[in-house]
Chain A
């Protein structure tokens, strides 16, 4: 299970997935709208994840 914090919604959820790409498909998040951060570093949507990894999906959309 991967722990995911979605900044825009201020919500945390646990998902079973191998990549952030899969997580975004499950949560219906458009990859254009987020940066994926693991351990304070940016990762790609295809990077393989491990059990208990903690991800943050940071919001890309700016201002009003």
Chain B
């Protein structure tokens, strides 16, 4: 069976449908769908200075590619790239090489911040000293740096490569672990209320599946090498991902339904949690947090104690 729109050879069959598309028409479909997400959820406004958080992997380079195209076409906003170097040998060094190459080819300014410079050592070394799961250190550290540096760089918004799969996993993880308040901050544009202390994050790939994004990245030569974080197998998220993939294979459309159901209740979550948790400023670093000392500073203090023993 040829492509739905022409007689060319199909390269993908879309999830939960019998539609098959060739390279040209898939690229068109993908880009059009992303632009619809940007327009429908008003992710980008005129005059925005967008920081694109990139890792050098498929998803973030896809976002960078499409936002760059849109920026060049409309000239209504600016983009620069920001990357975090956690210090994961054999993984991050490789993906960052790819990130640098793509930014250079497209004349996009890239800012890189490392755990070594900002917190004193690499993630690999931290994990040798302390008995914590990698993601429990890395998650808070990365988000902290992205938020802080984005404000310093005067970005009006931060774009990430989070896709449908990522969001579906997060929604289920929060559900399983009684973290509904955290879910209130999810969505195509993050945050419950507009707080200047938090950079607003937009997710242009919100309705694109992991597989569609990988297909786009492959067809556009954006990411050529396999790059999975070596610590990701230990994670709770890895288990949730496997579970959802198994379910999706048997019941196509499940992931999409998780997202659309969530979007139905999101306005209610916003209303419910609007005044729920007071946001203070961390007593050590002054960054926003819900307690006296932010998670990042707590981890940094723990790491310092281990070092001194």
Q: Contact: A44 with B214, CB < 8 Å? A: no
Bound form: Cα–Cα A43–B12 in Å? 7
Bound form: Cα–Cα A49–B28 in Å? 28
- What does DSSP make chain A's interface, helix, strand, loop or mixed? loop
Q: Taking CB as reference atom, which chain B residue is nearest A37?
A: B218
Is A17's CB within 8 Å of the partner chain B?
no
Interfacial chain A residues near B12, Cβ < 8 Å: 42, 44
What's the minimum C-beta distance from A19 to chain B, rounded to whole angstroms?
Answer: 13
Interface hits, B108-137 → A, CB 8 Å: 135
Number of residues of chain A lying within 8 A (CB) of chain B? 20
Which of B210, B219, B241 has a CB less than 8 Å from the CB of A42? B219
Q: Contact: B249 with A30, CB < 8 Å? A: yes
Interfacial chain A residues near B219, Cβ < 8 Å: 42
Q: Which of B52-60, B147-155, B282-290 contacts A (4 or more CB under 8 A)?
A: B52-60
Q: Contact: B211 with A59, CB < 8 Å? A: no
What's the minimum C-beta distance from B125 to chain A, rounded to whole angstroms?
Answer: 17
Question: Given that A62-B57, A62-B59 are contacting pairs, would A35 and B226 also be in contact in the complex, using a CB cutoff of 8 Å?
Answer: no
Q: Contact: A64 with B11, CB < 8 Å? A: no
Q: Contact: A63 with B55, CB < 8 Å? A: yes
Bound form: Cα–Cα A62–B162 in Å? 10
Question: Given that A35-B215, A41-B11, A42-B218 are contacting pairs, would A62 and B58 also be in contact in the complex, using a CB cutoff of 8 Å?
Answer: yes
Is B70's CB within 8 Å of the partner chain A?
no
Bound form: Cα–Cα A35–B219 in Å? 11
Q: Contact: B13 with A64, CB < 8 Å? A: no
Interfacial chain A residues near B10, Cβ < 8 Å: 44
What's the minimum C-beta distance from B128 to chain A, rounded to whole angstroms?
Answer: 18
Q: Which of B194-202, B229-237, B262-270 contacts A (4 or more CB under 8 A)?
A: B229-237
What's the minimum C-beta distance from A33 to chain B, rounded to whole angstroms?
Answer: 6
Q: Taking CB as reference atom, which chain A residue is nearest B228?
A: A61
Number of residues of chain B lying within 8 A (CB) of chain A? 34
Bound form: Cα–Cα A4–B218 in Å? 18
A sample of 24 cross-chain residue pairs with beta-carbon separation below 8 angstroms, ordered by A number, consists of: A8-B226, A8-B228, A31-B249, A35-B214, A35-B215, A35-B218, A42-B11, A42-B12, A42-B218, A43-B11, A44-B13, A45-B13, A58-B218, A58-B226, A60-B210, A61-B228, A61-B241, A62-B163, A62-B214, A62-B227, A63-B55, A63-B57, A63-B59, A63-B228
Is B295's CB within 8 Å of the partner chain A?
no
Is B246's CB within 8 Å of the partner chain A?
yes
Question: Given that A42-B215, A64-B138, A64-B235 are contacting pairs, would A59 and B245 also be in contact in the complex, using a CB cutoff of 8 Å?
Answer: no
Q: Contact: A60 with B226, CB < 8 Å? A: no
Bound form: Cα–Cα A5–B126 in Å? 35
Interfacial chain A residues near B213, Cβ < 8 Å: 62
Interfacial chain A residues near B210, Cβ < 8 Å: 32, 60-62
Please encode chain A, from 1 to 45, with 1 for each CB lying within 8 Å of some chain B CB and 0 for all others. Answer: 000000110000000000000000000001111010100011111
> Most chain-B CB neighbours within 10 Å: which of A30, A61, A62?
A62
Q: Contact: A64 with B59, CB < 8 Å? A: no
Interfacial chain B residues near A32, Cβ < 8 Å: 210-211, 245, 248-249
Q: Taking CB as reference atom, which chain B residue is nearest A10?
A: B226
Pairs of residues from A and B, 6 with the lowest C-beta to C-beta distance, nearest first: A64-B229, A42-B11, A60-B214, A64-B232, A32-B245, A7-B226
